[in-house]
Structure 1
Amino acid sequence: MRIAVVLLTVFAVVFLATGCIFKTVTLTMLEPENGGEVQPLPGVHNYLTGTVVSIEATPGDNWDFDRWEVDGGFYSSEEATTLKMDSEKVVKAFFVRKPVTLTMLEPSGQGDVDPDPGMLSFEYGAVVDLSATPTKGWEFDRWQVNGAFYSSAESTTLTMDNDKTVKAFFNEEPVASVTLYMLEPIGQGEIQPLEGDHEYNAGTVVTLKATPSEGWLFDHWLVEGALYSGDQEAYLTMNTDRNVKAVFVRKTYTLTMLQTSGSGSVEPPVGSHVYEEGTEVMLVASPANGWEFDYWQIDGVVVTGNPEHKVTMDANKTARAFFVEEPPVVFTLTMMEPSGQGSVSPPFGITHTLKEPLSP
């Protein structure tokens, strides 16, 4: 009896001290700043006091895991770690951008560049100063970044928001005259200056103009085979001989085939289809068994009840086919007066309409 009283007393002390036999605490997982995912997922999670919880961070592409913070203070730099739940906890993961690489190529021509040729690592978003110094008898022409024209200024800046390859171009100081070789354009359109060779005084700024033919669009200018400008009217300083070419591309439009109304298939199939301007596309509707074609709707307007319809792609268009169920077959039963004496059902003298024939 005395032992039972002692046990009850101990139980009461534990209960009053803890509030209950099984006490729980809360882990609040905050949304990470950016760049990755966490486990447990962001939100509020309840655990028994003393539970050891596994927490894990998975960085996204081009991101690195940096640290865990618990209750606003540093906790761990390990992507996967554990946390003992001996009290309420607020947890947050931090990710940082991976470094990006600047590859400085050897310049074309004679001159020095800063940074020096080689591969350099920078934090994401860093702004790098580029500087070019031509050798005597040479002059700076342009910077290329990732193979495309970037700047004609000897000193400029470059924002490192991804890996980049940079090259400087130097030309010999201009002679009395230089030649612009206007090459035959790619695609169809008119150009100014006309195709052929054109001489200019050194330093002349030449206006390049491109006019696409019907059904075509101007895309870009190439100078010395490299992308120079996407403007139909661009300006080129003739401080050396230049090869110039205009690039035109075909104009295209999209035909969007919507899901049919009713049961049936269409050709082209449901989805988006790209065609060159002027292309004639045959729309074909095939009803399912027990259905029949009703009409085509183009851009929301009913155009024909013919299951085959040709459209000319002179703009973006939306097409939808409508099908309806076939009407039921109706049979007529006419009961004639019987020969002899007797009754019939249905009664004679009345015409009856049936949706399906009577079984014999």
Structure 2
Amino acid sequence: MNAEVTVTANDGNWNAQSVVLNNTPEAELMVRVGDIDNLGFGWPLRFDPFSGEDTPVHAYPWVNNPLDAPGTDRISVISSYSYVRDNTPCGRDGYTSNTLRPGNVVIPIALEYASALTGITISSAALQLFVDDFQAPYFCASYRVKINGVRIPILEAAINSLVQTGPIGKLITVPIPQEYLYLFQSGAIAIEFDDVTTGAGDGYAVDFIKLLINPTAFAKTGTITGTVIDESTRTPIGDCQVSTLGNVATLTDAEGHYTLTDVPAGFVALKAFKPGYTQDQEVTDLIANAAVEVHFALNIDTAQYAINVTAQPIEGGTIEGAGDYTSGDMATVHAIPNPGWQFMRWWEENEPLENTPLYEFTVVEERALIAEFIPSDHFNLTVIKSGNGKITSEPSGIDCGTICNGHFAAGSVVELSVTPDDLYRFANWDGACHGSLPTCTVTLDQAQTVLANFRLMPFAMTVIGSGSVTSEPTGIECDSSCVGYFAANATVIFTATAAANNQFIGWDGACADFGTAPTCELTLNKAQSASVKFESIAPADQYELTTVVIGNGVVSSESAGIDCDANCSNYYAPDTLITLTATPGTDAQFIGWGGACTGNETNCTITLNESLKVVALFNGTVFTRESLAWQVTEIYIATQGYAPDNEGLQYWVNRIETDSVWNQTTVAQSFFDQPLVTAKYPESDGYGRFIDALYRNLFGRGADTAGYNYWLERLESSQFTRNQMIITLLLGGWDNPSPDAQADMTRFAHRVEVGLAFADYQAQHGIVYGQLTDTDQAYLRQVGYDILLNVTADPATRDAAIATIPTLLSPLH
């Protein structure tokens, strides 16, 4: 399998979960959700997912990656299937048999691109979907495909034609009919694949969905040729329309021949239609730059069907076009609003259709259509739901659930409220609402769209040292940092397992009460996180030598065991004589030793009669502290021990920039007026706890006796305030040139860099502290603490922590 990172002009970075690109070779705007990775299995060597080829058969089930975009790279089983009754019409597939609720519930897949729509008029659109294991014909399923709650017949026809036994994946390309383009104007859509009626045992997966706004050309295409004949007479049918579900269309010649060129590669569903005949549909796989033949045989059809139309409310307008039609006729119904009214949309069987007053379609069955009219001084409010829950409005009008579009008088202030289903929690709003509070207010000064995201309960786990944590039920299985999702109020047992030659030390965070017990049992009624610590076990009768390298250089030992440019360690027998050599890198110089070694000679010899640490300092490492964001982050970490929330960080940066009263010292003092800090360091506890915490936050170790006594005397005698102590320790650490101090401050600098990346991720993904619930705020603070636990003076630990930020913060956006 190919594991290299692929970046293309058409699709951007294939590893990214969300990509928005303007003016690609294929379209004016490309929006993709989901990484292009074959459900996490990777692509075979030289396999092109856009070529139209099927993937090889792959294993199932698989462990969901919490970093994957919601709804992608996961097994979904249609909601009408019942694991209790299991009375399927045509059996059930492997996805249904090998997964359980709630892990396989249908989740709509959301694409957001509002900011990229600026200056773009949508005249056409197409969807490309890489889908897996849809088997509606085999298992008697009937999928409904909805965009923002509106059924899209052309997408349903494509999905219900797929037979992906294997399971295998393939690409399908479907254009969006003009009458549904309005759904894309808001810059946010949610696509849902579900069967709510049959109870079929069919599951599926989606690798990625790609939206092309105003497409110009498809990168991979092929050709389809064939003939259309009369089934009974076996004679050719001329002037018959053959089309690929709207992508490409042509008419047959007098001999019944047709040719379709530039057809997008992948799964293709074709239909042949001529008035007076039944419509016929065939499917084929089309490989890029290849040609296939598809032939049709049509039967004569003269059946009559009634098209009934109703205005709702009756006083809203009139409708033209109702009546009886011959099968295959084109019907056009026209909704004409009365004065003071405006047409809203067409409905059928309580399902919203398009919003254009003129609705044209081919008659193949009886239909009962409703034209919805609203007062002309009203605006529409559309709610898009992702996950399982209900959204209602005050005043009434939205009950989604079932009614996800409502209209309100211009200027109305509408409050939306969410109620998660039993297994879910409300995650956050998007669109015209933001944050994770259970209510939001929208002013209808224009048509508005709101997204409400429901998720399973998240739990974050951070592993310190060498070991792993698993959960029962499954959801957590990691040896670094991970996030699992569980049903709300589920009881989950976490088990810590040390790696070879390591031992379990204990739990922290949500599991802290379980101390050194190897398991932690929690009821998950809110977003939470925990950490677990392991330590290496020293071999019997041996001591550990730890080497810390700061700057551009390498330390090696005369005998085997030590050879590193960062942090490393090894065990030795008692009284072993060890000679260490410091070798500067290119254009660098050795500054000196710290820890168990002293001086600035490049060689140091020690006798190991206890576990020791040695620090080697080279030049070449410079940390720039000039930015205000850096200085405020220092205060966050020194005072509270966790990476900052971005909203708070930017607040304090702005105060310093705009008001001369504020500086690093006064900001530090203000921290002690905040409820979270006063609760952490109550005055009744004295200063001892504060001194020790400050040393640990800054230097990664408790205060030494001399330092502890020094600061305790000065704080108790009011020679220093707590904020002055913070700034004094910070500046003293940065100004101290000794190797030991530089090792401490390098670790602290790496923690600051992680903190800045933590805040930047929040800014980039719309996570605003003040718009989070109390439990989500607590979760943000806790993972901000957890993410710093593994950070040392080794830059690799900084990089590893930054890499976990998307995982830990994924539940908040």
Instruction: Answer whether TM exceeds 0.5 for this pair.
Output: no
More strand by share: 1
Structure showing the higher helix proportion among its residues: 2
Q: RCO (CA 8 Å, sep 6+): is it higher in 1 or 2? A: 1
TM-score with structure 1 length normalisation? 0.30
